[in-house]
Amino acid sequence: MISQMLLRTHEKKTLIVAFLILLAAAFVPLSNLLLAESNPLHIPGYLVPLLGKYLCYALLALALDLVWGYCGILSLGHGAFFALGGYAMGMYLMRQIGNRGVYANPDLPDFMVFLNWPELPWYWYGFSHFGFAALMVIVVTGLLAFVFGWLAFRSRVTGVYLSIITQAMTYALLLAFFRNEMGFGGNNGLTDFKDILGQNIQAAGTRASLFAATAIALALALLLSSAIVRSKYGKVLVGVRDAESRTRFLGYRVENMKLFIFTISAMMAGVAGALYVPQVGIINPGEFAPANSIEVVIWTAVGGRGTLIGPIIGAILVNFGKSIFTAAFPEFWLFALGALFVATTLFLPKGIVGTVEQYFARRREYKAAGETEKTYQEDKAAALTATTASPQAAE
Q: Which of 50, 134, 280, 337 binds another protein (CB under 8 A)?
A: 337
Alpha-carbon gap, residue 51 to 321, rounded angstroms? 13
| Overall size of the chain counted in residues | 395
Alpha-carbon gap, residue 134 to 235, rounded angstroms? 31
Which residue, 155 or 385, is less far from another protein as judged by CB? 155
Taking CB under 8 A as the rule, does residue 339 contact another protein? yes
Taking CB under 8 A as the rule, does residue 341 contact another protein? yes
Give the shortest CB-314-to-another protein separation in angstroms.
13
CA dihedral 52, 54, 55, 56 (to 10 degrees): 90
Give the shortest CB-349-to-another protein separation in angstroms.
7
Query: Cβ distance 238 to 22 under 8 Å?
Result: no
Contact letters (x/-) for another protein, 189-228, by CB under 8 A? ----------------------------------------
Taking CB under 8 A as the rule, does residue 319 contact another protein? no
Give the shortest CB-173-to-another protein separation in angstroms.
8
Q: Which of 28, 58, 67, 74 binds another protein (CB under 8 A)?
A: 74
Taking CB under 8 A as the rule, does residue 159 contact another protein? yes
Which residue, 323 or 345, is less far from another protein as judged by CB? 345
Q: Which residues pair with 191 in a beta bridge?
A: 282
Which residue, 29 or 77, is less far from another protein as judged by CB? 77
Name the residue among 24, 392, 378, 383 with its Cα closest to residue 217. Answer: 24
The CA–CA distances, whole Å, from 82 to 176, 331, 363 equal 16, 27, 39
Taking CB under 8 A as the rule, does residue 349 contact another protein? yes
Q: Return all residues near 334 (Cβ < 8 A) that are at least 6 apart.
A: none
Sign for the CA dihedral angle at 310, 299, 163, 180 comes to: positive
Q: How is residue 107 annotated by DSSP?
A: S
Q: CB-based burial of residue 246 (10 Å sphere; 0-12 exposed, 13-18 middle, 19+ buried)?
A: exposed
Alpha-carbon gap, residue 29 to 215, rounded angstroms? 11
Q: Which of 20, 33, 165, 227 binds another protein (CB under 8 A)?
A: 165
Alpha-carbon gap, residue 205 to 258, rounded angstroms? 41
Q: Which of 67, 240, 277, 294 binds another protein (CB under 8 A)?
A: 294
Contact letters (x/-) for another protein, 139-158, by CB under 8 A? ---------x--xx-xxxxx
Alpha-carbon gap, residue 207 to 218, rounded angstroms? 16
SS3 39: coil
Give the shortest CB-50-to-another protein separation in angstroms.
23
Taking CB under 8 A as the rule, does residue 164 contact another protein? yes
Give the shortest CB-382-to-another protein separation in angstroms.
27
Stretches 32-40, 266-274, 336-344, 353-361: which one binds another protein (CB under 8 A)? 336-344
Interface residue list for another protein (CB under 8 A)? 74, 148, 151-152, 154-161, 163-165, 167-169, 171-172, 175-176, 178-179, 290, 294, 297-298, 301, 331-332, 334-335, 337-342, 344-346, 349
